[in-house]
Amino acid sequence: MSHVRNVEQFRSSLRRFLHTKGLKSTRQREVVAESFLAATDHVSADELYRDISTQHPGIGYATVYRTLKLLKEAGLAAERHFGEGFARFEPLEPGQHHDHLICTGCGAIVEFENPDIESLQDRVAERHGFAIDYHRLELYGRCAKCRPKQTHS
Amino acid sequence: MSHVRNVEQFRSSLRRFLHTKGLKSTRQREVVAESFLAATDHVSADELYRDISTQHPGIGYATVYRTLKLLKEAGLAAERHFGEGFARFEPLEPGQHHDHLICTGCGAIVEFENPDIESLQDRVAERHGFAIDYHRLELYGRCAKCRPKQTHS
DNA sequence: GTAGCTGCAAATCATTTGCATAACC
DNA sequence: GGTTATGCAAATGATTTGCAGCTAC
């Protein structure tokens, strides 16, 4: 889903963000951003760090965390918590949003979008006087492969 | 919403659970369970510990955590993460479920239920071959009080 | 009795931060 | 050239665990 992405565009978005904020565009930040995009979606900071380490042993844990935080601020990454005790991150296509189906058997994560659900959410929020900025919807269950076979007996 | 609850029923559910598992019903576990029910919904372990401390200075942090874990296993408590860096817990009415509206201004948490959203979720899951066990839906935004006043200019 | 608990302190794990040095603009 | 970034190591904060003594069954 988010794999079809314009790397160049992502890179320049980041540069623009850094420039606007008076921050510097460094080799490390480019490397982290690049690896982040190249990685499977929903990497943890640790996974990303390890990925990077193989090619760039110099880059430290702290830099990975610091860069991920910047990417979030730039609106280029989203932080997710799937109840594993640590965070996972995914690249964000500007203006795009999706929710997740998580298989409690094999850990597979499937992304989906559903406008009908979203408009119902808006209606609920409105009813309570809220103005929604963002939301989180996760469905936990068993994927087709992990589903226990039907008991026919 | 979950404040109207039968304390006696909760207590006996816990006892039954402990007994089935060959675990013991102790004074501390009763105290923690009691305070948990008495507390405002969505307490953190820390808040609960402090609550308890005032009446029962002997009970330690570890016991609070351990009992909360038991309550989860017993299906009597749900653990929630609202992005604060720690967990919040709420008593669970058997078979009842609800979602949350969270104000990013004042931290207010409002519970809601919406069957229409739930059935759409089921349909989405089905389409992907998933069998849903549970889900999590959180809407983040500003409540009526915290909403910036409309800019009319 | 004895397996299962408790309380404390120490351990763990993810994430953050202080600081001296190094890199961008 | 001065400000901001990096990399390490140490700090933090939430949660867990080891262990010696205590308690329920």
Find the CB nearest A125 among B101, B116, B130.
Answer: B101
Which residue in chain A has the smallest CA separation from B115? A120
CATH number for the segment(s) A7-91:
1.10.10.10
B26 touches strand D (CB under 7 A): yes
Q: Cβ neighbours of residue A107 under 8 Å, at least 6 residues apart?
A: none
Question: What tens digit of pLDDT does each residue of A74-114 get?
Answer: 989 999 988 888 999 999 876 677 899 999 888 888 999 99
Confidence of residue A1 (pLDDT cuts 50, 70, 90): low
**pLDDT score of A104:** 84
pLDDT at A125 over 50: yes
The pLDDT of B45-57, averaged and rounded, is 94
- Helix, strand, coil share (%) of chain A residues, nearest 5: 40, 20, 35
Find the range with the poorest average confidence among A75-79, A145-149, B48-52.
A145-149
**pLDDT score of B36:** 96
Q: Which residues of A touch B103 (CB under 8 A)?
A: 130
Confidence of residue B95 (pLDDT cuts 50, 70, 90): low
Question: What does pTM read for this prediction?
Answer: 0.78
Bases of strand D lying below 7 A from some protein CB:
3-9, 13-18, 23-25
The pLDDT of A122-147, averaged and rounded, is 92
pLDDT at B33 over 90: yes
- Inspect the interface and report whether the beta carbons of A128 and B142 lie closer than 8 Å: no
**pLDDT score of B84:** 86
The pLDDT of A58-73, averaged and rounded, is 95
Give the residue with greater pLDDT, B1 vs A130: A130
**pLDDT score of A51:** 94
Q: Which residues of B touch A119 (CB under 8 A)?
A: none
Count contacts between A and B (CB, < 8 Å): 105
The pLDDT of B113-124, averaged and rounded, is 94
> CATH 3.30.1490.190: does it fit domain A99-141?
yes
**pLDDT score of B149:** 59
Question: What tens digit of pLDDT does each residue of B2-24 get?
Answer: 444 678 888 999 999 999 999 99
Domain ranges in chain A with CATH number 1.10.10.10: 7-91
Angle, CA of B65, B140 and A75, to the nearest 5°: 105
pLDDT at B1 over 80: no
**pLDDT score of A153:** 43
The pLDDT of A128-133, averaged and rounded, is 92
Domain ranges in chain B with CATH number 3.30.1490.190: 99-141
A82 touches strand C (CB under 7 A): no
**pLDDT score of A127:** 95
B19 touches strand C (CB under 7 A): no
The pLDDT of A25-31, averaged and rounded, is 96
- Per the CB < 8 A criterion, the answer to whether A74 and A17 are in contact is yes
Q: Which residues of A touch B107 (CB under 8 A)?
A: none
**pLDDT score of A8:** 86
Percent of chain B at pLDDT exceeding 90: 68
Give the residue with greater pLDDT, A39 vs B5: A39
A23 touches strand D (CB under 7 A): yes
Q: Which of B71, B8, B13, B78 is nearest to B42 (CA)?
A: B78
Q: How far apart are CA B125 and CA A92, in angstroms?
A: 23
Phi-psi region of A137 (alpha: psi -120 to 50; beta: other; left: phi over 0): beta
- Per the CB < 8 A criterion, the answer to whether B135 and B125 are in contact is no
pLDDT at A3 over 70: no
**pLDDT score of A94:** 66
- Inspect the interface and report whether the beta carbons of B137 and A136 lie closer than 8 Å: yes
The DSSP call for residue A40 is P
Q: Which residues of B touch A140 (CB under 8 A)?
A: 132-136
The pLDDT of A21-46, averaged and rounded, is 94
**pLDDT score of A151:** 47
Q: How far is the CA of A43 from the C1' of D11 (A)?
A: 26
Find the CB nearest A143 among B110, B129, B143.
Answer: B129
